[in-house]
Amino acid sequence: MQFFFASQIDVTDRVEAQEKVAHQKALFEAEVEARTRQLKDALATNERALEEKTILLHEVDHRVKNNLTMIGSLLRLQANAIDDPRLVRTLGTMLERIDALATVHRTLHQSPDIRRFDVGGFLQGLVADVLAIAGRTDIEVVDRIEAVDIEATKATALGLALNELLTNAVKHAFTGGRSGRLTVAARREGDAVVVELGDDGPGFDPGTDSRSLGLVLVGRLSRQLDGTTEWTSSEHGTTSRTRFRSEPAE
Ligand SMILES: Nc1ncnc2c1ncn2[C@@H]1O[C@H](COP(=O)(O)OP(=O)(O)OP(=O)(O)O)[C@@H](O)[C@H]1O
Ligand SMILES: [Mg+2]
């Protein structure tokens, strides 16, 4: 009898303990659920904030591009009123630089990741723009461009440097209406990116030939990119090779 009573107490205790555990478990689960919901909400807010930031930065790139195009149009209008051919040429070169910057911002505006700049897409756009503006349909383009992304912070320096190299090929290699072949290559080599522009023009000596603003700019911009630009040139043509450090995309 005593034994039976004792086991009764035992069972009641156990049931109570189980209920307590179940209650605590329910409390704990509710707490976990609430915390998960909070974290999910925070994550969604963060994602929204990031999305808004992306849209905003894209909008800025779009506006910068539009403003550069506007500056270009104003200067072109002004250029029409200038008679001095030397001045017209200088202004034309400056306009090409402004156009190249607009192409940089157009490429950045189209980038799905605001931190990255699509070198291949930019190069294709730049070559098409420069040849179209120069009215050169007689230059055959050999495309050896691979998909290469670099840090968006390097976009402007690279864009301006490549514009100088490309316009040099068009102006000096395919000069006087001389047709030819332009080879454009871009590739990644580990933590470096290499861009090559090759023409089959008369060549020049980059060491001794006089440097105007163009080549001085190329030197400065290459250093800014943490890289170098070197030329191989002969009477069969010139190839410039721009190589700089760039973190591969994550
Ligand atoms: N791809 C090329 N083929 C042949 N000659 C070239 C080439 N690139 C450059 N050169 C020579 O090097 C010189 C210096 O080039 P640089 O870009 O500094 O000056 P530019 O093109 O004459 O003037 P700008 O300041 O408008 O660029 C050119 O005048 C030209 O003689
Ligand atoms: Mg030049």
Strands 192-199 and 180-189, by their bridges, are: antiparallel
Residues 151-166 pLDDT 10s? 999 999 999 999 999 9
pLDDT attached to residue 5: 55
210 C-alpha to center of ligand 1: Å?
Answer: 8
Cα separation of the two ends of the chain: 75
The residue whose CA is least distant from atom 14 of ligand 1 is: 211
Write the Ramachandran bin of 177: left for phi over 0, alpha for psi from -120 to 50, otherwise beta.
left
pLDDT attached to residue 162: 96
Q: Which ligand is nearest to the CA of 209?
A: 1
pLDDT attached to residue 213: 87
Provide the residue ranges of all domains of the chain, joining segments of one domain with +.
37-245
Point out which residues pair with 229 in neighbouring strands: 242
Ligand 1 atom nearest residue 202's Cα: 4
Q: Does 1 have pLDDT greater than 60?
A: no
32 C-alpha to center of ligand 1: Å?
Answer: 68
Residues 111-135 pLDDT 10s? 888 899 999 999 999 999 999 988 8
Residue 207: band (very low, low, confident or very high) from pLDDT cuts 50, 70, 90: confident
Q: What is the mean pLDDT of residues 131-143?
A: 93
Residue 52: band (very low, low, confident or very high) from pLDDT cuts 50, 70, 90: confident
- From 93, 164, 199, 212, give the residue whose CB has the most ligand 1 atoms within 8 Å, as the site to mutate: 212
pLDDT attached to residue 13: 82
Amino acid (one-letter) located at 242: T
Q: H or E stretch including 194?
A: strand 192-199
Q: What is the mean pLDDT of residues 93-105?
A: 93
Angle CA 52–68–111, to nearest 5: 40
Q: Does domain 37-245 have CATH number 3.40.50.720?
A: no
Residues with CB under 6 A from ligand 1: 93, 164, 168-169, 171-173, 199, 201, 203-204, 209, 211-215, 238
Residue 250: band (very low, low, confident or very high) from pLDDT cuts 50, 70, 90: confident
Ligand 1 atom nearest residue 199's Cα: 1
Q: Are 187 and 193 in contact (CB under 8 A)?
A: yes
- Residues 229, 215: Cα–Cα separation, whole Å: 10
Q: What is the mean pLDDT of residues 219-231?
A: 96
Q: Does 80 have pLDDT greater than 80?
A: yes
Ligand 1 atom nearest residue 90's Cα: 26
Chain Cα centroid distance, residue 84: 38
93 C-alpha to center of ligand 1: Å?
Answer: 12
- Residues 227, 243: Cα–Cα separation, whole Å: 5
98 C-alpha to center of ligand 2: Å?
Answer: 14
**pLDDT mean across residues, the chain:** 91
Q: At what angle are helices 213-224 and 155-168 packed, to 10 degrees?
A: 150
- Residues 98, 178: Cα–Cα separation, whole Å: 26
The residue whose CA is least distant from atom 27 of ligand 1 is: 214
